[in-house]
């Protein structure tokens, strides 16, 4: 039987009887023993340094890279090394950090379970020492052609490595991947005695990976809990906001239906107007919820067409003006304003959300100016009000879903925290940007950009 691998021998290596080991050590010349001592001291130093490095506040790939570098300094024969981590969603091992390889080519490699050295070491959970090109070739025998070609590009060399030492990365039965060290030019470079050092280092690396994974899981579940909490709060607020107009509508309608009372024509009209107004409010609320749900499931698909923005701005401002006598709306676009490339249905929604806010958050009325400016590559629209304004801390999360500023100067202003995120999703789906500028107590300006019609943009360029 060919000496396929030394997996089984390696497994016994770490459980050598200590009395035999010490007896053997005592029979060796003094010079050898002093070299061993120096080597052990140096390895211990390297392990301590790597342990320190792995607790640094860096991203995982950087930590792994630093650990590999330090290992290569200590283990002089290693000319190349890679940490292959298992990606469960892809069902593949991918390179997470490397030294001595072309990173781009290495990044294209995707190793399957059981494939090549990485797959075998991961499956067995045991280290593997391959001392010559023949045994390396045998272990890499089932490496798929595309992977072999990427590996050769990554090594900038044909053929296969001269020798290899691979150890699993695992903590208490949780396996993450494999650390593979290779010599590209030097034959029979790794020895059994390198194993304890390399395995200890791999264990430190595995601990760092474990810690990062646990941290990521904790962060994700904290975020999920926060989102869930926010969603419940919003649902409660929404139910309340839907119930209020509904109760009003029910009240007016029931009153109108009372046979005993003979309402005057003016009173009947007043009640019907109230019902009409409350229905409008409910419609807006439900539309926002629906738009947000559409965006969530990726159904925001604008159908851009050449669009005259000044006309749309006029139409939307007129709509808002009719609903508020307290405010004066002014639309200011230059006469030669260029055509933009946008979907009128969705852009109307942006104007509606931003203008509704301008009205809602200036409860004492004031001027609202909608302005357009043509720029070389796009157009800039701004909506400025003279309302309550927004504090600098609240400006940061302003466009996040469900966010509502904490301070409305004692006014109770209803809302869902969905209007601006919807506006942002729409503007970004058109290739534009949206942001706001504000001063507490002085007013807010919301800006958004939209791309020019492609032909106009080309001419401008």
User: With respect to ligand ADP, which residue has the nearer C-beta, 127 or 387?
Assistant: 387
Size of the site for ligand ADP (CB under 6 A): 21
User: Binding to ligand ADP by residue 420, rule CB under 6 A?
Assistant: yes
> Does 444 participate in binding ligand ADP (rule CB under 6 A)?
yes
User: In whole angstroms, how close is the CB of 328 to ligand ADP at the nearest point?
Assistant: 16
Is the Cβ of residue 127 or residue 419 nearer to ligand ADP in the bound state? 419
**What is the C-alpha separation between 108 and 99, in angstroms, rounded?**
16
- Work out whether 169 is an interface residue with ligand ADP (CB under 6 A): no
Q: Which is nearer to ligand ADP, 5 or 416 (CB)?
A: 416
- Which 110-139 positions form the footprint of ligand ADP (CB under 6 A)? none
Residue 233 Cβ vs ligand ADP, minimum distance, rounded to whole Å: 12
Residues within window 388-417 making contact with ligand ADP, judged by CB under 6 A? 388-390, 398, 403-405, 415-417
Pick the closer one to ligand ADP by CB: 92 or 420.
420
Collapsing DSSP states into helix, strand and coil, what is residue 356? helix
Q: Are 323 and 359 in contact (CB under 8 A)?
A: yes
User: Cβ of residue 354: shortest distance to ligand ADP, in angstroms?
Assistant: 7
What does the CA dihedral 221, 226, 228, 233 come to, rounded to 10 degrees? 170
- How do 366-374 and 327-332 pair as beta strands? parallel
Looking at beta carbons only, is 86 or 361 nearer to ligand ADP?
361
Burial pattern 124-139, b for ≥16 Cβ within 10 A else e, equals: bebbbbbbebebbebb
Backbone φ and ψ for 435, nearest 5 degrees, come out as -155, 175
CB of 402 to ligand ADP, least distance (A): 8
CB of 446 to ligand ADP, least distance (A): 6
Paired residues of 183 in beta bridges = 163
C-beta separation of 205 from 53 below 8 A: no
Q: Give the single-character DSSP code of 291.
A: H
Tell me how far apart the alpha carbons of residues 79 and 76 are, in angstroms, rounded to a whole number.
8
Closest CA to 12 of 207, 195, 190, 205: 195
Cβ proximity to ligand ADP: between 123 and 319 the closer is: 319
**CB 365 → ligand ADP: shortest distance, Å?**
13
CB nearer ligand ADP, residue 212 or residue 391 = 391
Distance in Å, CB of 439 to ligand ADP, minimum? 10
Least distance in angstroms from the C-beta of 236 to ligand ADP: 14
Burial status of residue 380 (CB atoms within 10 A of its CB: 0-12, 13-18, 19 or more): middle
Q: What distance in Å separates the CA atoms of residue 44 and residue 50, rounded to the nearest whole number?
A: 10
Q: What angle do CA 179, 1, 139 make, to 5 degrees?
A: 25
Q: State in angstroms the smallest separation of the CB of 417 from ligand ADP.
A: 4
Q: Which of residues 328-387 bind ligand ADP (CB under 6 A)?
A: 353, 357-358, 361, 385, 387
Q: Choose between 90 and 235: whose C-beta lies nearer to ligand ADP.
A: 235
Torsion (CA) 154, 159, 161, 167 in degrees, nearest 10: 70
Select 104 or 400, whichever has its Cβ closest to ligand ADP: 400
435 is a site residue for ligand ADP (CB under 6 A): no
* Residue showing the smallest CB distance to ligand ADP in the complex: 415
Shortest Cβ 253–ligand ADP spacing (Å): 27
Listed in sequence order, the DSSP H helices in 174-259 are 195-257
How many Cβ atoms from other residues are within 10 Å of residue 326's Cβ?
10
Nearer residue to ligand ADP within complex by CB, 2 or 410? 410
Q: Which residues of the shown chain bind ligand ADP in the complex (CB under 6 A)?
A: 353, 357-358, 361, 385, 387-390, 398, 403-405, 415-421, 444
């Amino acid at each position: 039987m060919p000496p396929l691998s030394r997996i089984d021998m390696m497994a016994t290596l770490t459980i050598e009887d200590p009395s035999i080991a010490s007896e053997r050590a005592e029979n060796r010349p003094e010079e050898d023993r002093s070299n061993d001592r120096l080597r052990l001291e140096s390895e211990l130093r390297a392990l301590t340094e790597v342990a320190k490095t792995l607790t640094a506040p860096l991203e995982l790939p950087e930590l792994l890279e630093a650990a590999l570098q330090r290992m290569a300094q200590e283990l002089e024969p290693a000319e190349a090394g890679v940490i292959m981590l298992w990606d469960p969603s892809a069902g593949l091992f991918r390179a997470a950090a490397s030294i001595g390889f072309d990173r781009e080519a290495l990044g294209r490699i995707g190793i399957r379970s059981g494939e090549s050295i990485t797959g075998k070491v991961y499956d067995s959970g045991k280290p593997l020492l391959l001392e010559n090109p023949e045994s390396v070739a045998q272990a890499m025998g089932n490496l798929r052609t595309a992977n072999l070609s990427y590996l050769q590009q990554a090594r900038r060399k044909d053929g296969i490595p001269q020798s290899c030492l691979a150890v699993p990365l695992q903590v208490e039965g949780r396996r993450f991947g494999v650390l593979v060290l290779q010599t590209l030019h030097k034959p029979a470079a790794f020895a059994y005695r390198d194993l304890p050092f390399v395995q200890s280092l791999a264990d430190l690396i595995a601990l760092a990976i474990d810690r990062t994974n646990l941290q990521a899981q904790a962060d994700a579940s904290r975020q999920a809990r926060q989102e869930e909490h926010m969603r419940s709060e919003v649902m409660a607020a929404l139910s309340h906001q839907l119930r209020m107009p509904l109760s009003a509508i029910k009240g007016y309608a029931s009153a109108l239906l009372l046979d005993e009372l003979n309402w005057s024509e003016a009173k009947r009209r007043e009640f019907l107007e109230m019902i009409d107004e409350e229905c409008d409010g409910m419609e807006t609320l439900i539309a926002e919820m629906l738009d947000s749900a559409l965006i969530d499931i990726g159904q925001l698909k604008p159908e851009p067409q050449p669009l005259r923005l000044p006309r749309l701005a006029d139409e939307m401002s007129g709509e808002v003006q009719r609903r508020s006598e307290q405010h004066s709306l002014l639309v200011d676009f230059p006469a030669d304003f260029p055509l933009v490339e946008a979907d009128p249905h969705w852009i109307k929604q942006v104007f509606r959300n931003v203008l509704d806010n301008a009205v809602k958050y200036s409860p004492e009325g004031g001027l609202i100016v909608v302005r357009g400016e043509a720029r070389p590559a796009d157009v800039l629209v701004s909506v400025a009000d003279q309302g309550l304004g927004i504090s600098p801390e609240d400006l940061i999360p302003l466009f996040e879903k469900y966010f509502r500023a904490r301070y409305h100067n004692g006014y109770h202003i209803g809302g869902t925290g969905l209007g601006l995120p919807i506006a942002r999703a729409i503007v970004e789906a058109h290739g534009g940007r949206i942001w706001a500028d504000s001063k507490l107590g002085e007013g807010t300006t919301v800006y958004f950009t939209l791309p020019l019609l492609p032909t106009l943009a080309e001419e401008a360029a």
